[in-house]
Amino acid sequence: MEVIIVEQPGDVAVHAADAIEDLATSHPAPVLGLATGSTPRATYEETGRRIAAGRMTLARARAFMLDEYVGLPPHHPQSYRSVIDAIFTTKVDIDPANVAGPDGNASDVLAACAAYERAIAEAGGIDLQILGIGGDGHIAFNEPGSSLASATRIKTLIRATRQDNARFFEGVLDAVPSHCLTQGVATILRARHIVLLALGEPKAEAVRHAVEGPVSAMCPASALQLHPHVTVILDEGAASRLEMAAYYREVWENKPPWQRL
C-alpha cells in the first residue's frame, strides 16, 4: 500500500484526480469504479475542471458504481444512481449511458447481482476504483462481517451506517433503506488499481484498522492489504491514528520521479 498524507484536505482530490488523469491519458477506453458518499465529490469536481481545461477526456470511458439502495425509485434524489448523476456524470464528459449501477429495484435480485458481475467482467474489469471508507471500516456497503471473498449481493445495512447516512434523508433514520446491493470485497479487489480516500478524524480509526490492522472481516477495508496496487490518500485528520505516519511521509517525499500513482 502506498499511503499519501496531505496537509490540505483539498489536496486529496488533486492526487485522486491525478490518478484518473493518468489513466484517462494513457488508456483509450478506461473503466472507472465510482464511489458515492461525500468524500469523492471534490475529486469528481477536479476531474471535471481538468476535462473543461482540455487536459483529459472521459468521452470513451465506462464507469461502474459500487452500490445502490434497495427499493428507492431510481429518480429518488438519494438513490446512488441520482447521487452519481449529480456528483460525477453531470460534472464530466462521460456518456451517461456508459455509467452502470446495480439495479436496486430488480424483481430477481440474485439475477441482477450476477448480471452486474458479468457486465463488469465483459467491460474488461475495472482499471481504477475510487473508494471511500465507512466509519466502521466498510467499503462500498460491505459491512463488518462481510466475506472477504464476496461478490455483488444484497446486504442488510447495520444501524450505525443507516444513522450515518440519515443526514442525506433529512435526519430520518426510518427513511434510510435497510438493504442495498453492493459489489463484494472480491469484486472490488479485482480492480487493477484502487484509490482509497478518507477525510477527517472520524475516519481515523477505520483507516488505522484498514492500513495497519490485521486483515479481518471485522474491517472489510483491511482486505485492501491483499491487493498489489492500492493508493491511500488521507488528510491529517484521517491519518491521525497511523503508527507509521512519519514513515509514509518520508517515502512519499522521497518518491522517485519514475514511480507513479
Q: Please give the residues from 7 up to 26 whose contact with ligand GLP meets the rule CB under 6 A.
A: none
Q: Are 102 and 182 in contact (CB under 8 A)?
A: yes
Q: Is 146 in the site for ligand GLP (CB under 6 A)?
A: no
> How many CB atoms are closer than 10 A to CB 42?
20
Total residues found in the chain within this entry: 261
Nearer to ligand GLP, 3 or 35 (CB): 35
Q: Is 161 in the site for ligand GLP (CB under 6 A)?
A: yes
Q: Are 153 and 113 in contact (CB under 8 A)?
A: yes
Shortest spacing between CB 192 and ligand GLP, in angstroms: 19
Element (H, E) at 185: helix 185-189
Task: Dihedral sign for Cα 73, 106, 195, 176, please.
Answer: positive
Shortest spacing between CB 40 and ligand GLP, in angstroms: 7
Choosing from 68, 103, 138, 164, the catalytic residue is 138
> How many CB atoms are closer than 10 A to CB 204?
19
Task: From residue 220, give the alpha-carbon distance in Å to each of 28, 31, 207, 256.
Answer: 32, 23, 11, 31
143 flagged as catalytic = yes
Applying CB under 6 A, among 87, 141, 219, 232 the residue interacting with ligand GLP is 141
Q: Is 150 in the site for ligand GLP (CB under 6 A)?
A: no
> How many CB atoms are closer than 10 A to CB 76?
16
Nearer to ligand GLP, 56 or 141 (CB): 141
Q: Is 183 in the site for ligand GLP (CB under 6 A)?
A: no
Nearer to ligand GLP, 3 or 42 (CB): 42
Q: Please give the residues from 199 up to 258 whose contact with ligand GLP meets the rule CB under 6 A.
A: none
Shortest spacing between CB 254 and ligand GLP, in angstroms: 30
164 flagged as catalytic = no
136 flagged as catalytic = yes
Q: For 147-170, b where at least 16 C-beta lie within 10 A, e where not — what string?
A: ebebbbbbbebbeebbebbeeebe
Nearer to ligand GLP, 30 or 220 (CB): 220
Phi-psi region of 113 (alpha: psi -120 to 50; beta: other; left: phi over 0): alpha
127 flagged as catalytic = no
User: Count of residues binding ligand GLP (CB under 6 A)?
Assistant: 14
Q: Please give the residues from 25 up to 64 whose contact with ligand GLP meets the rule CB under 6 A.
A: 35-39
Which residues are at the interface with ligand GLP (CB under 6 A)?
35-39, 66-67, 132-134, 140-141, 161, 165
